[in-house]
Chain A
Amino acid sequence: MSARPVLSLLLAALVLLFSACGKSASDQAAASGDLVVRIGSAAPLTGPLAHMGKDNENGTRMAIDDANAKGIVIGGKKVHFELISEDDQADPKTATIVAQKLVDEKVNGIIGHLNSGTTIPAAKIYSDNGIPQISPSATAVAYTNQGFKTAFRVMANDAQQGDVLGAYAVKNLGAKRIAVIDDRTAYGQGLADEFIKAATAAGGEIVAHEYTSDKSVDFTAVLTAVKGKQPDLLFYGGMDAQGGPMARQIKALALNVKYMMGDGGHTPEFIKLAGDAALGVYASLPGVPLDKMPGGKAFSERFVAKYQPIQLYAPYCYDAVNVMIAAMQKADSAEPARYLPMLAGISYDGITAKIQFDAKGDLKGGTVTLYQVQKGQWQPLETVGAQ
């Protein structure tokens, strides 16, 4: 028994030692006269979307490593960029806690969040504290509609995406009776609503609108209800973790429909989860295909060599960081209040596109590309929108 106090003392000492080590990196940098700039990254690192969250974190990290290697100077000081990555679990409640934590850690800017449902509530906290936020992937219209001066995104929003998807479903795929399922998240619901608007405008009829959740695995009851309405196309507003298994269940129920998703479905993970039911599935992704991006091919090669195949948003995260740094350089300051006006008016040639923001913080002239699964891969069909 007498060993216990000794053990806990030892443990406490170890903990102290480690926390001291953790600090020393930035302390050293500060001591040698470098300016430390903290960039926060928020994405789900656990749960069903962990593969996407990790992808975002890696994209952000690569941009930060590159910036550090370049030896950028701001305000006459050499800058050391530091990544502070947080897990928001794709959960809106957790996202606000994480946002407050990042604010308390005095980050100079935020790359995130990944989901629209988490980005929207977190945006208020960043706005209240005047910290610029660039979401690489939140596409819900509501995000930039809140009127926050600090909120930006480097991807076309769901109004643009829903427009393209709805019109394509009716005009190109000849869908007449359309069923819609969404996962009741800010993203899924928003995209489904935009899709419905566009599909109806193009002359399609919505015969069913059913719902599921972003944690479900069983869609047979919902799909059976949909089947009763005899649709010829099914649109799912949601992410790959549900969309993939849903594709399998569509096939198992012999539901004879064309199946379509938004950007949330456009991942290698979707093809893995859907198995042979993935063949012929449609999805959209804002922006042009990776190999058509100005710096897409080189980025992809470097990224794959360093981490793993790109899931989805890594190139957008890379651009988001670089846009932020470019604004800091232009303002010659990493102070949020100083570089924010520069960010709002920036024009930057990124690897995904030329990045300029409109008054709301949305990407100017965003494009959307449609894809289909062919031979186990997402193949681009056509790109819509001016670029």
Chain B
Amino acid sequence: MEIFLQQIINGLVQGSVYALVALGYTMVYGILGLINFAHGEVVMTGAMLALSALTALIGWGVSPLLALPVSLMLAMAGCMALGYGIERIAYRPLRHAPRLAPLITAIGVSIVLQNLAMMIWGREYHAFPQLIINRPHLIFGAIINDIQIIIVVMAIGLMAGLMVVVHRTRLGRAMRAVAENQHAAQLMGVDVNRVISITFMIGSALAAVAGLMVSANYGLAHYYMGFLLGLKAFTAAVLGGIGNLRGAMLGGLLLGLIESLGAGYIGDITGGFMGSQYQDVFAFLVLIAVLVFRPSGLLGERLAERA
């Protein structure tokens, strides 16, 4: 029983990270109908920036409790600038081009960012400094530690914050209007370019947080960590219904749970025929299943409308 509970906790922690990253995909898709495949690389950049800032700050003798939020802020600022830049350079000139064109520039940007990161930070794994004493807590025999609690709480907080922004503020109304119909929104006086830029910046800031979370949780960061994470978060977004914010959160959490329960029990279920090395396969099985049986995702209607 405690093993089952432990797998649920593992899944929730992993799922919160997926959800945060999935939000970035889904926001951009909701507004532009574009899949920003460079988003995974923004997560990686966030993690690397945070790690560099952290190492520098600790080196100057700043206390870890101060260094952590400061480097998170720096990473968020850096990623927001990056998100703005990506949109400005790779997507805005192609806004009225056929849909395939921005998809290809997205992949191009992703490759460029990965290689830039490789040149700047090198090819090796970077160990993440252990700043806070990561105490384990026992819940009915299962273990959850401080970092994991922080991850889940922060993820939920950020998601709630985003919902408030989208549904309760002027900016959120503008975002929803642009998503509904760009031309109509423009005619109503909404600055479409500005709204799109801000969307990219919010998504990138969330990505930076997710990047820091992943590297703090696993204790490492490297230049291609964004690739698989990005693909899985994209899967989560599709699972929940791409373009739908609540869907991205639900999809992220579900995917985390599916992966962790799947990897934990597949060996027992198949009698050792398939083992836990299939952990990464689950995400993509889910992707295929969703695309075949429910292309609009669990909560989404938009995809069917738009297609």
- List the interface of chain A (C-beta within 8 A of B): 45-48, 50-51, 184, 209-213, 215-218, 220-222, 224-225, 227-228, 241, 244-245, 248-249, 252-254, 269, 272-273, 275-276
Which residues of chain B from 1 to 32 have a CB within 8 Å of any chain A CB?
Answer: 3, 6-7, 10-11, 13-14
Determine if A218 and B145 form an interchain contact, defined as CB atoms under 8 angstroms apart: no
B267: min CB distance to chain A, Å = 7
Determine if A252 and B275 form an interchain contact, defined as CB atoms under 8 angstroms apart: no
Determine if B14 and A225 form an interchain contact, defined as CB atoms under 8 angstroms apart: no
Q: Complex Cα distance A220/B264, Å?
A: 9
Determine if B220 and A217 form an interchain contact, defined as CB atoms under 8 angstroms apart: yes
B182 contacts A by Cβ under 8 Å: no
Instruction: Count contacts between A and B, CB distance < 8 Å.
Output: 103
Which residues of chain B from 93 to 136 have a CB within 8 Å of any chain A CB?
Answer: 118, 122-125, 127, 130, 134, 136
Q: Complex Cα distance A212/B281, Å?
A: 12
With A221-B7, A273-B127, A275-B127 as known contacts, state yes or no: A254 contacts B220, CB within 8 Å. no
Can you offer 10 A-B residue contacts whose CB atoms are under 8 A?
A: A46-B118, A48-B124, A50-B122, A50-B124, A184-B277, A213-B277, A225-B263, A244-B219, A272-B127, A275-B219
A183: min CB distance to chain B, Å = 8
B35 contacts A by Cβ under 8 Å: no
B41 contacts A by Cβ under 8 Å: no
B52 contacts A by Cβ under 8 Å: no
With A46-B118, A252-B136, A273-B127 as known contacts, state yes or no: A221 contacts B145, CB within 8 Å. no
Determine if A212 and B219 form an interchain contact, defined as CB atoms under 8 angstroms apart: no
- Point out the residues of chain A lying under 8 angstroms from B136, CB to CB: 252-254
Query: Residues 243-279 of chain B: 1 if any A CB is under 8 Å from the residue's CB, otherwise 0?
Result: 0000000000000000111111101000000011101
Determine if B220 and A218 form an interchain contact, defined as CB atoms under 8 angstroms apart: no
Determine if A245 and B219 form an interchain contact, defined as CB atoms under 8 angstroms apart: yes
Determine if B277 and A212 form an interchain contact, defined as CB atoms under 8 angstroms apart: yes
With A48-B125, A253-B143, A276-B130 as known contacts, state yes or no: A245 contacts B218, CB within 8 Å. yes
Determine if B124 and A51 form an interchain contact, defined as CB atoms under 8 angstroms apart: yes
Q: Nearest chain-B residue to A241 (Cβ)? A: B125
Determine if A225 and B280 form an interchain contact, defined as CB atoms under 8 angstroms apart: no
B222 contacts A by Cβ under 8 Å: yes
Which of the four size classes fits the interface of chain B?
Answer: 35 or more
B225 contacts A by Cβ under 8 Å: yes
Q: Complex Cα distance A218/B255, Å?
A: 14
Q: Complex Cα distance A184/B279, Å?
A: 13
Q: Complex Cα distance A272/B221, Å?
A: 12
A88: min CB distance to chain B, Å = 14
A78: min CB distance to chain B, Å = 37
Q: Complex Cα distance A212/B13, Å?
A: 19
Give me 20 other A-B pairs in contact (C-beta within 8 A), A212-B277, A221-B263 excluded.
Answer: A46-B118, A46-B123, A47-B123, A211-B276, A213-B277, A217-B218, A221-B259, A221-B262, A221-B276, A222-B263, A224-B6, A225-B3, A227-B6, A244-B127, A244-B220, A245-B219, A269-B124, A272-B127, A275-B219, A276-B130
- Point out the residues of chain A lying under 8 angstroms from B222, CB to CB: 48
With A225-B267, A248-B218 as known contacts, state yes or no: A220 contacts B124, CB within 8 Å. no
B145 touches which of A211, A213, A252, A272 (Cβ 8 Å)? A252
Q: Complex Cα distance A16/B158, Å?
A: 55
Determine if A269 and B263 form an interchain contact, defined as CB atoms under 8 angstroms apart: no
Q: Complex Cα distance A48/B6, Å?
A: 29
Q: Nearest chain-A residue to B219 (Cβ)? A: A248
Query: Residues 233-246 of chain B: 1 if any A CB is under 8 Å from the residue's CB, otherwise 0?
Result: 00000000000000
Q: Complex Cα distance A252/B147, Å?
A: 10
- Point out the residues of chain B lying under 8 angstroms from A216, CB to CB: 279-280
B4: min CB distance to chain A, Å = 9
A212: min CB distance to chain B, Å = 6
Q: Nearest chain-B residue to A224 (Cβ)? A: B6
B141: min CB distance to chain A, Å = 10
A86: min CB distance to chain B, Å = 15
Q: Complex Cα distance A245/B127, Å?
A: 9
Determine if A224 and B3 form an interchain contact, defined as CB atoms under 8 angstroms apart: yes
- Point out the residues of chain B lying under 8 angstroms from A225, CB to CB: 3, 7, 263-265, 267, 276
B125 touches which of A221, A228, A273 (Cβ 8 Å)? A273
Determine if B279 and A221 form an interchain contact, defined as CB atoms under 8 angstroms apart: yes
Q: Nearest chain-A residue to B10 (Cβ)? A: A220
Q: Complex Cα distance A50/B123, Å?
A: 6
Determine if B219 and A273 form an interchain contact, defined as CB atoms under 8 angstroms apart: yes
Sorted from nearest, which 5 A-B pairs have the closest CB atoms? A211-B277, A221-B263, A50-B123, A228-B3, A211-B275
Which residues of chain B from 204 to 231 have a CB within 8 Å of any chain A CB?
Answer: 218-220, 222, 224-225, 228
Determine if B125 and A269 form an interchain contact, defined as CB atoms under 8 angstroms apart: yes
- Point out the residues of chain B lying under 8 angstroms from A269, CB to CB: 124-125
A92: min CB distance to chain B, Å = 16
Q: Complex Cα distance A221/B264, Å?
A: 5
With A46-B118, A269-B124 as known contacts, state yes or no: A249 contacts B218, CB within 8 Å. yes
